[in-house]
Structure 1
Amino acid sequence: MKVQGWMFAGFAVFILAAAVVYGLWSKEPAGTTALFLGFGLCTMIAFYLGFTANRADTGAMDREDADIADDAGELGFFSPHSWQPLMLATGGALAFMGIIFGWWLLFFSLPVILLGVFGWVFEYYRGADRTQ
C-alpha cells in the first residue's frame, strides 16, 4: 500500500500545481474549485493508504524481492448472491433522476436506498443464534 500512497501523493501535488496555474491563468471559479477538490480527495486517499500501510502487514508489492506468485491466494470473502447492490443502484438511480425531474422523487428513492443499505449490512445475520 505504500506504493499506492506515494502515487496518490504525487498525483495530489500535480493537481495542486495544475489548480494554481489554472486558477491564476483562467480566473474561472468552477474549474479551479473542482481542481482544488480533486487535490483534497487525492490527499485524503494518500493519507489513508499511508496510514494503513504502517499498520498492515507488508504486501508483496512493497518488497523488492517479491515474485508475482507471492500475491496469490485468498483475497477475502465476497458475497456470491447478494441482491442488495441492485437495490442500492436502483435507489441511487431514482435519487439522481429526482435531481433531474423533481425533488419529490427523492422521497421515493430514500426508502429504497435505506432498505438496500440495511439489507446489505445485515445480510448474513438472518437466523443466527445470538444467545451465546
Structure 2
Amino acid sequence: MKIQGKMFIWLSVFILVMAIVYGVWSKEPAGTTALFLAFGLSIMIGFYLGFTAKRVDAGAQDNKEADVADDAGEVGFFSPHSWQPLSLAVGGAFAFTSVAIGWWLMYFSAPLLLIGLFGWVFEYYRGENRTQ
C-alpha cells in the first residue's frame, strides 16, 4: 500500500502544477476549479493510503522481488445477492437527470436513494444475518 500512497501523492503534485499553469494561462474558472478539486481528491487518497500502510503489514506490492502469485488469496467479502446498488443507481440517475430536466424529478429520486442507502448499510442487520 505504500507504493500506491506515493503514486497518489506524486499525482497530486502533478495535478496541482497543471492546475496552476492552466489557471494562469486560460483564465477559465470551471476547468481550474475541476483541476484543484482533482488535486484535493488525489491528496486525500494518497494520505489515506500512506496512513493505512503504516498500520498494516507490508504487502506483496511493496516487495520489489515479489511475484504475482504472492498477492493471491482472499481479497474481501462481497455481497453476492444485493439489490441495493440497483436502487442507488436508478435513484442517482434520476437525481442527476433532475438537474437537466427539472427539480421536480428529485421527488422521485430521493426515496429511491434513501431506500438504497439504508438498505445497503443495514443489509446484514436484519433477518437470519442479524447478530444478537
Which consecutive residues of structure 1, in runs of 5 or more, have no partner in the other structure?
A: none
Q: Could you tell me which residue of structure 2 aligns to residue 28 of structure 1? A: 28
Deviations 1:15-38 (A, max 9, x none): 111111111112222211111111
Alignment of 1:36-55 (within 5 A): 36-55=36-55
The RMSD of aligned alpha carbons is: 1.2
Query: Could you tell me whether the CA contact under 8 Å between 2:125 and 2:131 is conserved in 1?
Result: no
TM-superposed deviation, 1:129: 5.4
The change in CA–CA distance for 1:6 and 1:129 in structure 2 (over 3 A counts) is: closer
Percent identity among equivalent residues? 68
Length, aligned pairs only: 130
Q: Which residue of 2 aligns with 1:77?
A: 77
8 Å CA contact 2:12, 2:42 repeated in 1: yes
Which sections of structure 2, spanning at least 5 residues, go unmatched?
Answer: none
Counterpart in the other structure of 2:7: 7
Identify the residue that residue 111 of structure 1 maps to in structure 2.
111
Distance in 2 between residues matched to 1:6 and 1:105, nearest whole Å: 42
TM-score (norm 2): 0.92
Q: SS at the partner of 2:126? A: coil
* Farther-moved stretch of structure 1 (59-68 vs 79-88): 59-68
- For normalisation by structure 1, the TM-score amounts to 0.92
